[in-house]
Structures are given as C-alpha cells and as structure tokens.
C-alpha cells in the first residue's frame, strides 16, 4: 500500500466561483490527470464550479507516490477535500474515476459528512457487476504495453516513446492495480440521483452493465450512450457537457437566479 504525504492541493486547474451554487468534483481515468477537465468551466453553466481532482503521481503531484489500493485512496481524498464540501456538490468520474466517486460518496455517508447531490459515472460497469477481467497491472512490460494499445486510451506517440513510457509505466501500473484489485462490498443504495454515461462500442462497460447503476440509488437513474469506445469522453466532450448541464437542470440542482 502506498504512503502519501500531500504537499500540494488536491485540486488543479480550479477556478473558484463565488456565485456558483454547485461544485462538480471530477476524477480521472487510470493514467489520467486533472488536465482532462481543465476546459470544462467554459462549457458548463455559470452556476457550476468545476473542481478537477489531481491524484498523486501525476501533474503537479508527479513526485508523490501513486496509490495502489482503492480504500486508501478514497480515505485520503475524503480527508483532503473536506473543506470544499460547504456547498452542494456532485461527482463526475470516468472509468477508475467512476468507482472513486462512488466509493467516496459511500465513505462520506459513513462519516456523517455532506453527501453529493448527484453522481455522474462514465465508462464503468456498475460496481456489483461480476468482473471476469484478468489482472494486467503486473504483466511483463511488453504485454502490459500491448494491453494499453488494446484499450486505445494512451496516445500512439506516447506508446512509441520508450523514454516517456518508462516514466508513465509506474503510474499506469499503480492505477490499474487500484481498479483491478477493487472489491465491491454490498451496502444500502445511495440517495443521490445517478447519471451513467457509456460508449456504444465500449468493450469495458456494456449497456447492460451500465444499467446496473440503477441498483445503487434510491433516486432517479439515467443512462446516456455516445458513439465511441471506452474513451469516448475525449471525442464527444461538447455533447457530454451539454448533457451534464441538462441533467443538472432537470434534477433542479442549479440556482436559476
């Protein structure tokens, strides 16, 4: 289990908005950073304060050891984001980030802390869905890189740069270990509404497995599908952000004044 000491903010590319009525915390996929969400503020309603979460081992936190276990990661996120929970908030997470946000919501409930008003989960099967994928985080280097190519989430220019890959591999292995060793524990459903996003050609999260998110809340659940594979969010961002805005308005989560 990694040992981490927070030396910088857990938020990056964050623009505080005093008039905002809701904070949207955004969690990255495996190998990703807060930079994925740096432009979201420009496309979301003015009432939304986008809070991209920077996990250790990347971006401004490159010198910190990445976590390798979900419980330890979520506990540290909860502790260090606690000062930002003083107004209504929602979570968005893609793939690994979806499970981080889900487990964080459950941990906040356990601790009697404020809970999210909405959960956006993207590119990830419902957590209770049986997983038949083999562990890949500990594969020999060339086999691990082959798996990265198959998933189509790492740019070809990165995969073909030996020096850059040596830099990236420890982070990717750590993130894959976080998600591939994750164990779902049955608990009562959340109270917040959930929107699940998926790619029509995503081999990692089928429509049926996304439907399973309905079991994780007593509130409303919506399923939205986009063209693309597992990393559809990188290609349909304008449509995705319009849909997020619509969902927030539909569930009456934004101040219209």
Those residues with Cβ within 8 angstroms of residue 27's Cβ, 6 or more apart along the chain or in another chain: 53, 55, 91, 92, 93, 94, 96, 97, 98, 100, 101
The CATH number for 209's domain is 3.40.50.1820
> How confident is the model over 64-88, as pLDDT tens digits?
999 999 999 999 999 999 999 999 9
Residue 153 has pLDDT above 80, yes or no: no
Label residue 136 by pLDDT band (50, 70, 90): confident
Q: What is the reported pLDDT for 7? A: 40
Q: Is 8 helix (H, G, I), strand (E, B) or coil?
A: coil
Range name among 8-17, 178-187, 235-244 with the lowest pLDDT average: 8-17
In a domain? residue 15? no
Cα–Cα distance, 172 to 197 (Å, whole number): 23
Is residue 186 over pLDDT 70? yes
- Residue, of 149 and 153, whose pLDDT is higher: 149
257 in any annotated domain: no
CB-based contacts of 143, cutoff 8 Å, min separation 6 = 136
Angle, helix 162-180 to helix 96-110, in steps of 10 degrees: 40
Establish if 12 belongs to a structural domain: no
pLDDT confidence tier of residue 21, bands split at 50, 70 and 90: very high
Among residues 201, 209, 151, 126, the alpha carbon closest in space to that of 30 is found at 151
Using alpha carbons, list the distances in angstroms from residue 257 to 11, 84, 117, 194, 235.
27, 23, 19, 25, 32
| CA–CA separation, 120 and 135 (whole Å) | 26
Bigger pLDDT: 127 vs 13: 127
192 vs 156, residue with greater confidence: 192
247 contacts 120 by C-beta, under 8 angstroms? yes
DSSP one-letter code for 22 = E
Tell which wins on pLDDT, 20 or 5: 20
Closest CA to 186 of 244, 227, 128: 128
Instruction: Give the residue carrying structure tokens 């289990």.
Output: 1
196 φ, ψ (degrees, to nearest 5):
-110, 130
pLDDT: which is higher, 164 or 241: 241
Which one has a higher pLDDT value, 149 or 88?
88
**Per-range mean pLDDT, top range of 53-67, 103-117, 134-148:** 103-117
Q: Average pLDDT of the chain? A: 91
29 in a domain, yes or no?
A: yes
Count: domains in the chain: 1
CA-to-CA distance for 237 and 155, rounded, in angstroms? 17
| Domain carrying residue 240 | 22-250
- 8: in domain: no
The DSSP 8-state label assigned to residue 250 in this structure reads H
Residues 21, 33, 95, 209: which is the catalytic one?
Answer: 95
Q: Is residue 5 part of a domain?
A: no
Whether 8 has a pLDDT exceeding 70, the answer reads no
Q: Read off the pLDDT band of 3 (50, 70, 90).
A: very low
| Sign for the pseudo-dihedral over CA of 3, 13, 15, 246 | negative
| pLDDT confidence of residue 257 | 61
DSSP three-state, residue 252? coil
- Residue 17 in any domain: the answer is no
* Confidence band of 161 (pLDDT split at 50, 70, 90): confident
- With 0.85 as the threshold, say if the pTM is over it: yes
Tokens 């990717």: give the residue: 172
Q: Is 95 a catalytic residue?
A: yes
The pLDDT, as a whole number, for residue 148 is 87
Considering the domain boundaries, does residue 50 fall inside one? Answer: yes
Beta bridge partners of 196: 121, 223
């Amino acid at each position: 289990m990694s040992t981490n000491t927070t030396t910088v903010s857990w938020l990056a590319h964050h623009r505080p908005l005093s008039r905002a009525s809701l904070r949207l915390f955004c969690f990255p996929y495996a190998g990703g950073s807060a930079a994925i969400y740096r432009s979201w503020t420009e496309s979301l309603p003015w009432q939304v304060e986008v809070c991209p979460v920077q996990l250790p081992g990347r971006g401004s936190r490159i010198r910190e050891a990445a976590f390798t276990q979900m419980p330890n990661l979520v506990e540290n996120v909860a502790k260090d984001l606690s000062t930002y929970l003083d107004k209504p908030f929602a979570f968005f997470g893609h793939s690994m980030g979806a499970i981080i946000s889900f487990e964080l919501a459950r941990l906040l409930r356990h601790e009697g802390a404020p809970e999210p008003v909405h959960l956006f989960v993207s590119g990830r099967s419902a957590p209770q869905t049986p997983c038949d994928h083999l562990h890949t985080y500990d594969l020999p280097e060339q086999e691990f890189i082959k798996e990265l190519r198959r998933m189509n989430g790492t740019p070809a220019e990165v995969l073909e740069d030996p020096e850059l890959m040596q830099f990236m591999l420890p982070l990717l292995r750590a993130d894959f270990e976080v998600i591939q060793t994750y164990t779902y524990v049955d608990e009562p459903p959340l109270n917040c509404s959930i929107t699940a996003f998926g790619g029509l050609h995503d081999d990692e999260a089928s429509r049926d497995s996304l439907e399973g998110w309905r079991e994780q809340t007593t509130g409303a659940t919506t399923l939205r599908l986009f063209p693309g594979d597992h990393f559809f969010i990188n290609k349909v961002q304008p449509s995705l952000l319009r849909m997020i805005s619509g969902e927030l308005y539909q569930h009456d989560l934004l101040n219209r004044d």
